[in-house]
Amino acid sequence: MPLSAPRLDRRLLERLENLERSDLSFAEIRRSLVVLARELDIPPPSYENVRRLATRRRIERELTAEIRALAIGVTLGTRHPADLLVALKSAEGQDHP
């Protein structure tokens, strides 16, 4: 069984964050991270770890965008402040994968 990193090196995490913003699949992101890990001579991340972390980042980005849009709506008077409070409360209690 090939070795994989239990925790990602900071440099791999930075690359993952940059790559997950694109429309790349989890497999494509992992392949890029494996290349970087080999260059750095460190264990590569497992596919499952990449999938879990990239999914979490994408969810966080979606929540941030939703909350930002609601805050703008409240500022412009097109949304009720209670809508923003409900979204913030929902995001606070959201379980990330």
For the stretch 3-61, pLDDT in tens is: 555 578 999 999 999 998 888 999 999 999 999 999 999 999 999 999 999 999 888 88
Domain boundaries, the chain: 10-93
CA distance 64 to 66: 5
CA distance 71 to 80: 10
- pLDDT tens sequence across 37-52: 999 999 999 999 999 9
| pTM listed for this prediction | 0.68
What SS3 string covers 13-75? HHHHHHHHCCCCCHHHHHHHHHHHHHHHCCCCECHHHHHHHHHHHHHHHHHHHHHHHHHHHHH
Report, in angstroms and rounded to the nearest whole number, the Rg of the chain calculated over CA atoms. Answer: 18
